[in-house]
Amino acid sequence: MHVRVRFVGSLGRVTRREVEMTLPDGSVVGDLLRELSETYPNLGSLDTAKGILIVMDGVEAGNLQGLDTPLTEDGEVTLVPVAHGG
Amino acid sequence: MTSLNCTKCRARPSVFYRPYSGERLCSSCFRTSLVERVQLSINRFGMLEHGSRIAVGVSGGKDSLTLLHLLKQIEDTTHGSEIVAVTVDEGIRGYRDEALGIVERACKSMGLEWKLATFHNMFGWTMDELAAQKRELGACSFCGVLRRRALNDIAREVGADRLATGHTLDDMAQSALLNILRGDIGKMASLDPGGLSSPGFVRRIKPLCEVPERETTFYAYLSDFEFQGAACSYAGEAMRGDVRIFLNEMEEKHPGTLFTTFSTSLKLIPAAREAGLMKACRVCGEPSAGELCRVCQLLPGVSRGEAGKVPR
């Protein structure tokens, strides 16, 4: 399964602004975050409690199934830092 | 991927979920709900009068840009107040310089007046220079005190009778808990979102006090605001970061925790206010809780131009 990940704001500073990821079929958002943290260690732990807003094709992940939301083929996942800048 | 329909309009698919209220909102109802929430806070805490001149502190971050955007919409259609954006450049290389470009472009696109002040011109020090000094306090303690003074000065300079800052519900709850953890109950008075009228102070208002930071972030995302890429190099020093993580975890497990913490702090304000009446600093004459204001405590001599740097 192939998804496009867009990093907004400070997250784009620690890696590229956009990356393509391939994960096993049936993967969920939580799997993607773990894979991203392993592939790009500079991102650190992508923990929602530490302030990451996850938007899947324009829909905030909390409005779906949160970290258990299934990824969609060729979907776009945007990660936006919450705890950054007033 | 399908989502349930918006719980307000019931017509469009929802894009955002509020765990604390159970609402699922489409992008249009989400935006409208934030405008209404801010309008309600303004009324509830008596923040504005007709014809107020509001200096809006804009750092270039998503919260202050969201505040500017929402206030502009509200004031264009209701109070008829004037808005002027004000920014303080602390002198943090690689951080604030990026933000200044973002603020300038945002103000230009909204047709707003913009005024910039710098630590260097006001105090004779940049934040980078201060951070390099031998010091007991964290950099954020210096920065916060000087930024508050700078914002007050610049708001006075532009003739504002209100100074609006982008403090969100998260900031309010964090500050309340920090005050308790530090045993500084007297400081609770400054958490009044409607601000205090005090000689020498431009009244500070916090119109986003009931808007969670997740929502200012989603608003900024929907509005396609430019997000600042650089993080402040001194941010890791603050105790606030630990409190933020704790409250975020609590909010995830127990939705509504941020609102409850904020409401509790409001109940403590009257007692805190009695404890701390403002007077004039004996050195610089600016408003102060004690004999000496925090700026003169931190930068002795600067207000008198004796710091060996560029005097004000």
Tell whether B156 is covered by a domain: yes
Q: For the full predicted model, state whether its pTM sits above 0.80.
A: yes
- Best mutation target among A14, A50, A60, A76 (most B Cβ atoms within 10 Å) is A60
Region of B224 (left: φ > 0; alpha: ψ -120 to 50; beta: rest) is left
Q: Is a pLDDT exceeding 90 seen at residue B297?
A: no
State how far the Cα of B170 lies from the Cα of B250, in Å rounded to an integer: 12
Tell whether B4 is covered by a domain: no
The answer to whether residues B296 and B170 belong to one domain is no
Q: Is a pLDDT exceeding 90 seen at residue B161?
A: yes
pLDDT at A11 (0 to 100): 82
Mean pLDDT in residue range A21-40? 93
- The secondary structure of residue B237, as a DSSP letter, is G
Reported as a pLDDT band with limits 50, 70 and 90, residue B290 is: confident
Reported as a pLDDT band with limits 50, 70 and 90, residue B278 is: low
pLDDT at B197 (0 to 100): 76
Task: Name the residue with higher pLDDT: B302 or B246.
Answer: B246
pLDDT at B202 (0 to 100): 94
- State the nearest Cα–Cα gap between A37 and chain B, in angstroms: 19
Give the number of domains in chain B.
2
The answer to whether residues B153 and B257 belong to one domain is yes
Contact (CB, 8 A) for B76 and B68? no
Across B194-294, the runs of DSSP E, i.e. the strands, are 203-205, 279-280, 287-288
Q: Tens of pLDDT along B103-119?
A: 999 999 999 999 999 99
Task: Name the residue with higher pLDDT: B237 or B220.
Answer: B220
Tell whether B291 is covered by a domain: yes
The answer to whether residues B100 and B164 belong to one domain is yes
Tell whether B238 is covered by a domain: yes
Q: Is a pLDDT exceeding 60 seen at residue B309?
A: no
Domain membership of residue B288 as a residue range: 278-312
Q: Is a pLDDT exceeding 50 seen at residue B303?
A: no
For chain A, list the domains and their CATH numbers: 2-81 (3.10.20.30)
pLDDT at B310 (0 to 100): 35
Kindly determine whether residue B231 and residue A10, on different chains, have CB atoms separated by under 8 Å: yes
Tally C-beta pairs within 8 A across A and B: 97
Q: Is A26 on the interface with B (CB under 8 A)?
A: no
State how far the Cα of A84 lies from the Cα of B228, in Å rounded to an integer: 8
pLDDT at A50 (0 to 100): 61
State how far the Cα of B217 lies from the Cα of B32, in Å rounded to an integer: 15
Q: Is a pLDDT exceeding 90 seen at residue A69?
A: yes
The answer to whether residues B113 and B222 belong to one domain is yes
B55, B85, B179, B251 from B68: Cα distances, Å? 10, 8, 28, 26
pLDDT at B20 (0 to 100): 96
pLDDT at B308 (0 to 100): 35
Residue of A nearest to B24 (CA): A63
The answer to whether residues B230 and B307 belong to one domain is no
The answer to whether residues B260 and B138 belong to one domain is yes
Reported as a pLDDT band with limits 50, 70 and 90, residue B311 is: very low
The answer to whether residues B149 and B60 belong to one domain is yes
pLDDT at B11 (0 to 100): 95
The answer to whether residues B68 and B163 belong to one domain is yes
Q: Tens of pLDDT along B222-277?
A: 999 988 777 777 776 567 888 988 999 999 999 999 999 999 999 988 887 776 66
Task: Name the residue with higher pLDDT: A59 or B295.
Answer: A59
Q: Tens of pLDDT along B127-144?
A: 888 888 877 777 777 888
Question: Which residue in the set A51, A53, A63 is minimally distant from B24, CB to CB?
Answer: A63
Write the ipTM. Answer: 0.92
- State the nearest Cα–Cα gap between B228 and chain A, in angstroms: 5
Q: Of how many residues is chain A composed? A: 86
Q: Tens of pLDDT along B44-103?
A: 999 998 889 999 999 999 999 999 999 999 988 876 789 999 999 999 888 888 889 999
The answer to whether residues B229 and B289 belong to one domain is no
Which A positions 1-20 lie with beta carbon below 8 A of chain B? Answer: 8-10, 12-13
Q: Is a pLDDT exceeding 50 seen at residue B39?
A: yes
CATH number at residue B52: 3.40.50.620
Q: What is the mean pLDDT of chain A?
A: 87
Only one residue has tokens 């001599």, namely B301
What is the three-class DSSP state of B88?
Answer: strand
What residues form DSSP beta bridges with B113?
B84
Phi and psi torsions of B196, nearest 5°: -120, 140
Q: Is A44 on the interface with B (CB under 8 A)?
A: no
pLDDT at B1 (0 to 100): 66
